[in-house]
Structure 1
Amino acid sequence: MIESWRWFGPLDAITLPEIAQTGATGIVTALHEISYGEVWPREAIAARRAMIEAAGFTWEVVESLPIHERIKRGEGDLAPLFANYRDSLRNLAAEGVKVICYNFMPLLDWTRTDLKAPVAGGGACLRFEAYKMAAFEINMLGRAEAEADYPAAVRARGAAWFQSADEATREGLLHAIMSGLPGAYDRYDIAGLRAALKLYEGIGRDELRANYKRFLQEVVPCAAELGMRLCVHPDDPPRDILGLPRIVSTAEDIAWVLAAVDDPANGLTLCSGSLGANPANDVPAIARRFADRIWFAHLRNVRKEPDGSFEEAAHLDGDTDMVALIAALLAAEAGRDTPLPMRPDHGHDLLADIGRATHPGYPLIGRMRGLAELRGVARALRK
């Protein structure tokens, strides 16, 4: 596997020379400064590629080429947005970048309630606390339907938290939930989030699937013609959030996506942390089932709790058997013309990273530790 590293470009506090010291050889990045729906100019792609190559890396994967919210909602004349997406694919292919990670999560990307949850031995991790999410949806956002989404005990604990929390603490929760949005995009305040959610009224699972299938039908043939691989990222967490349906959360969801346009260009980003947060998912089994359509891998681990909470564990700890998963990915890679790019996904804030202004979940030392552990497993399995 190609050991890769997510880098947020000029927005990233971690520099390419620092990444070189981790042993990673590939970079995973995007043009985060370009607004959703606009064409990525070839000149901008070439400049970013030159910056990466000058530092001694290859640009292995785009993460992400975002999908405009109007496409997810199926709203209005979408032909220009589909055309722009295809043009961006053509410009990326012309610069030799042919693996594209994206997601079809409505409105938000990954969602957490705590960005600095303490871990044993020191350091901090990302955490999803069910009662805090309940408090946010019910008590802060005022979404009436959220009452039915949480057990009574979780709702009660969330209400107690809300009553005891001061305004700064509540704002901290909003900030954490908004932090999954990449790059420099504006975050929502409560009023803005309510307005954005209103645009999704009437869009359930079936409607979102129909809109997703249309997107695939519009762009996968272009990707196939260019020799590219589109790799959907699973929902994070793999459950409905804010009343919005999530449709890439289980093995059966993935099977539907890959069958919607049955072409190798329509593939999967195997994210062990996202999938691993659903108790019904056997992540190594999912990797074995879809081995011929996995074109990119995010490797991290989570530790789940009965009420739906989870936290990000060290890469070899947690609930997913990482050794079995890496064995499945190595088997999937065998016989291919090109190796499988993977990256250590997320990491604990450790040592000198504590207090450093890195993107949440993306510290230097915690991910370097994870990469070293994953590298050791892969080399042992190859022996």
Structure 2
Amino acid sequence: MIESWRWYGDLDAISLEEIAQTGARGIVTALHEIPYGEVWPSDAIAARKARVEAGGFEWVVVESLPIHERIKKGEGDLSALFANYRQSMANLAGEGVTTICYNFMPLLDWTRTDLNAPVAGGATCLRFEAVRMAAFEIHMLGRQDAEDDYPDDVRAKAASWFQQATEADRDSLLASIMAGMPGAFDRYDVAGLRQALATYDGVGREGLRRNYKRFLDEVVPTSEELGVKLCVHPDDPPRDILGLPRIVSNGDDLDWILAAHDSPANGITLCSGSLGANPANDVPAIAARVADRIHFAHLRNVAKDPDGSFEEAAHLEGDTDMVALVRVLLDEQARRLDAGRADHLIPFRPDHGHHMLSDLSRDLIPGYPLIGRLRGLAELRGVISALSHAG
């Protein structure tokens, strides 16, 4: 497997020189500065690739080439947006970058209610707290029908939290949820979020699926021509959020996606943390089910609570059997090698991590510390080595 590391370029306080000390040899990055829907210019791609290579790395995966919200909503004439997406793929392929991760989550890329939840020993982690999310949706946002999405006990605790919360508590909750807004451009207050959510009125699950299939039909033939591998990232968390449908949340969803445009170019980013947040998901079994279309892997773990809450766990300590999952990925690599595929190696990165030690005093992107991810990479490296040695 190709040990990789997510790097946010100039938006990242962690340098390539620091990343080099982790032992990773692949970089996962994107041109985050470019607004959604615009073409990624070849010269900007080449400049980013040159920086990566000057640091001693290979740019192995684009994460992400984002999809404009209008495509997700099926809104208006989309021909220019689809053309721009295809041109960006072509420009990436022209520079030798041919694996592209993306997601089809409406509005929010990920959702957490706490960016600094305490864990044992003084570290912190990302957490999704069902009670606080219910308090936000029901009492702060006032979303119609939000109460139907939460059980009685969670609603009662949410009401109590809201009544006791200070203005600073509520502001902190909003900021945590808004941290999942994609890119570096849009952040909303409560009124703005209501307006943004209203633009999805009437789309629904089936409408979002239709719009996703249209996207695949528009871009997969081009990816085939270019030799590009597209790999969708699962929903995070794998459940409807803020009344918005999520359609990449379980094994059945992945089956639908792979069948919607049946091509090796239409693949999966296997994210063990996103899928693992749903107690109904057996992540190693899902990985085995779609193994031949896994183009990229995010390896992280979560610990779940009965009320639907979850938080980022240490990579080998959460609810997902990480050893079993890595075994699936190694077996798939071996199958590809036996089939004579030159691209048999699967790039992976240690996803998220606890903020600990000196990282606690650094201004780092939530979930993307240096030391916590280094710990995760070291643990995963050990699992891979042991399983490879065992044969």
Counterpart in 2 of 1:150? 150
Contact 2:108 2:182 in 1 (8 A): no
Cα distance in 1 for partners of 2:22, 2:183 equals 23
Task: Read off the aligned partner of 2:212 and give its amino acid letter.
Answer: Y
Q: Residues 205-224 of structure 1 correspond to what in structure 2 (within 5 A)? A: 205-224=205-224
Counterpart in 1 of 2:272? 272
Contact 2:135 2:155 in 1 (8 A): yes
SS at match of 2:296: strand
Q: Residues 134-173 of structure 1 correspond to what in structure 2 (within 5 A)? A: 134-173=134-173
Deviations 1:57-108 (A, max 9, x none): 0000000000000000000000000000000000000000000000000000
Counterpart in 1 of 2:19? 19
Task: Read off the aligned partner of 1:359 and give its amino acid letter.
Answer: I
Q: 1:356 aligns with which of 344, 351, 362?
A: 362
Contact 1:348 1:361 in 2 (8 A): yes
Q: Residues 84-233 of structure 1 correspond to what in structure 2 (within 5 A)? A: 84-233=84-233
Counterpart in 1 of 2:373? 367
Cα distance in 1 for partners of 2:385, 2:225 equals 35
Cα distance in 2 for partners of 1:25, 1:291 equals 23
Cα distance in 2 for partners of 1:350, 1:68 equals 35
Task: Read off the aligned partner of 2:359 and give its amino acid letter.
Answer: D
Cα distance in 2 for partners of 1:10, 1:66 equals 18
Cα distance in 2 for partners of 1:34, 1:115 equals 25
Cα distance in 2 for partners of 1:67, 1:181 equals 13
Cα distance in 2 for partners of 1:69, 1:358 equals 27
Cα distance in 2 for partners of 1:189, 1:24 equals 38
Deviation at 1:189, TM superposition (A): 1.1
Cα distance change, pair 58–93 in 1 and its aligned pair in 2 (3 A): same
Contact 2:107 2:181 in 1 (8 A): no
Contact 1:271 1:298 in 2 (8 A): yes
Cα distance in 2 for partners of 1:270, 1:380 equals 21
SS at match of 1:234: coil
Cα distance in 1 for partners of 2:172, 2:307 equals 22
Deviation at 1:186, TM superposition (A): 2.5
SS at match of 2:349: strand
Cα distance in 2 for partners of 1:312, 1:23 equals 23
Counterpart in 2 of 1:65? 65
Deviation at 1:183, TM superposition (A): 4.1
Cα distance in 2 for partners of 1:9, 1:84 equals 22
Deviation at 1:181, TM superposition (A): 2.8
Runs of 4+ in 1 over 3 A off after TM superposition: none
Contact 1:25 1:58 in 2 (8 A): yes
Counterpart in 2 of 1:347? 353
Cα distance in 2 for partners of 1:185, 1:362 equals 19
Deviation at 1:373, TM superposition (A): 0.2
| Structure 1 gap ranges (5+) | none
Cα distance in 1 for partners of 2:351, 2:2 equals 14
Task: Read off the aligned partner of 1:310 and give its amino acid letter.
Answer: F
Q: How many correspondences in the alignment?
A: 383
| Structure 2 gap ranges (5+) | none
Cα distance in 1 for partners of 2:361, 2:137 equals 29
Cα distance in 1 for partners of 2:178, 2:135 equals 15
SS at match of 2:264: coil
Task: Read off the aligned partner of 2:32 and give its amino acid letter.
Answer: H
Cα distance in 2 for partners of 1:270, 1:333 equals 14
Cα distance in 2 for partners of 1:39, 1:183 equals 15
Cα distance in 2 for partners of 1:304, 1:80 equals 42
Task: Read off the aligned partner of 1:365 and give its amino acid letter.
Answer: I
Deviation at 1:187, TM superposition (A): 1.1
Cα distance in 2 for partners of 1:188, 1:312 equals 25
Deviation at 1:311, TM superposition (A): 0.6
Deviation at 1:294, TM superposition (A): 0.1
Cα distance in 2 for partners of 1:49, 1:69 equals 27
- Normalising by structure 1, we get a TM-score of 0.99
Contact 1:32 1:182 in 2 (8 A): no
Deviations 1:338-372 (A, max 9, x none): 21100000000010001311100000000000000
Deviations 1:92-149 (A, max 9, x none): 0000000000000000011000111111122001000000000000100010210100
SS at match of 1:330: helix
- Normalising by structure 2, we get a TM-score of 0.97
Deviation at 1:203, TM superposition (A): 1.0
Counterpart in 2 of 1:44? 44
SS at match of 1:121: helix
Task: Read off the aligned partner of 1:134 and give its amino acid letter.
Answer: A
SS at match of 1:269: strand
Counterpart in 1 of 2:383? 377
SS at match of 1:144: coil
Contact 1:11 1:183 in 2 (8 A): no
Contact 2:66 2:103 in 1 (8 A): yes
Contact 1:248 1:254 in 2 (8 A): yes
CA RMSD of aligned residues (A): 0.7
SS at match of 1:306: coil
